[in-house]
Structure 1
Amino acid sequence: MSIPVADKERREDGAPVGSLVTLVGNPRAGSRTRAAAEAAAEAIGRRIGHHGPGEVVDLAALGPHLLAPGPSAGVEVALELVAGAEVLVVASPTYKASYTGLLKAFLDRLPGGALAGTTALPLLVMGDPRHALAVELHLRPVLVELGAHVPTPGLALLEAETPDPGEVLARWADRVAPQVTAVLREGAGA
């Protein structure tokens, strides 16, 4: 599902523009987490020269199929889309000071190394600033374990910031976009 370098859209500086996918681990459809994740993906996308909305995998629709005993075409497509992403925004609300079990169930379906060649950007939406380290202590390690490059810092977004996250997202995107661009350039040169 990866796009060959020669076929990739290029930015003005010659760096490739990779596929951008947003993975939302909130069990509730239409959540603040999804809105925040899409806004974060858009902020990063603008800074790395990605045009268009990118793809969204919203696990709320796939939840019942993740633990089903048989295969699910929707889950398989979602796994391929996530594994094929060059830039992956992974978002979850904070439950019990960590990410959701729904997101964990999905990530557990990916084989080891499935995110090699992917730059993953973790994002947790939380009610209390005391949970801000959860993005680094819980979500980052699972993404690294799956082989992803994970720039610093992940995004800890307070629920109170979700109605108007522009300034918080801009500061975060300004900080991590150069790291994402460097990884995309490095991958293009490989």
Structure 2
Amino acid sequence: MIVTVVAGNPKPASRTLDAARHVAEALAGRAPDREVDVVTLGPSLLGWGDETVKAAVDLVAGSDLVVVASPTYKASYTGVLKCFLDQFAGATGLAGVTVVPLMLGAGPTHALAPELLLKPVLVELGATAPTQGLYLNEKLYAEPEAYAGWVGQWKDVVLACATTTRSTGGS
């Protein structure tokens, strides 16, 4: 199983990337195989046809399980993540990929953002999102207790989906 994390934070090497790594490791029992720190793709995200961006898109689309993470900005996910997701081909760009929508925020006000805002765009791109999205407090994200309940509830479902979705062709 190929596990990838995607971080859509405007700052490179962010807490968002770190949180995605923690969640991926808790699910898979090992570090992720691949990482895409979206902001490092730079201005190439604003156009079409850039080979570096295409390689990142292909890397994600070729994964079995992807943790897609964003900080909460203006009550939603970031524009840099949206620019990256726009690079995927329509309703099939993430076909066969199991995703976990993950967002970080300062408090509980936006706890439904991963479910209401990030998950629908991932599903629109063809991904399978078999569980609730995960919202973590940005100050507590590194504490295993912050995500242990979610992982305990959903790990088996996520892993079962990730090991079967690619072979069956998607949701």
TM-score surpassing 0.5? Answer: yes
Give the % identical residues.
46
Q: 2:98 aligns with which of 106, 112, 119?
A: 119
Give the match for residue 38 of structure 1: 21
Structure 2: unaligned runs, 5 residues or longer = none
Normalised TM-score (structure 2): 0.90
Runs of 4+ more than 6 Å apart? none
Written as runs of structure 1 = structure 2, the 5 A alignment for 1:13-162 is 18-46=1-29, 51-68=30-47, 71-112=49-90, 113-162=92-141
Query: What per-residue deviation string (whole Å, max 9, x for no partner) do you get for residues 72-131 of structure 1?
Result: 221111000011111000000000100000000110110121111111000001112110
Match of 1:186 in 2: 164
Structure 1 unaligned regions, length at least 5: 1-17
| Closer, same or farther: CA 134–161 of 1 in aligned 2, 3 Å | same
Does structure 2 conserve the Cα–Cα contact (< 8 Å) formed by 1:97 and 1:134? Answer: yes
| Secondary structure, aligned partner of 1:182 | helix
Query: Partner amino acid for 2:9?
Result: N
Say whether the 8 Å CA contact 1:36–1:165 is kept in structure 2. no
Q: How many residues align?
A: 167
User: When the two structures are superposed, what TM-score results if normalisation uses the length of structure 1?
Assistant: 0.82
Would the aligned equivalents of 2:98 and 2:165 in 1 still touch at CA under 8 Å?
Answer: no
**CA 1:64–1:183: 2 relative to 1, 3 Å:** same
Counterpart of 1:32, as a letter, is R
Residue number among 143, 152, 170 corresponding to 1:165 in the alignment = 143
1:185 to partner: Cα distance: 4.5
| Counterparts in 2 of 1:184 and 1:61: CA distance versus 1, 3 Å | closer
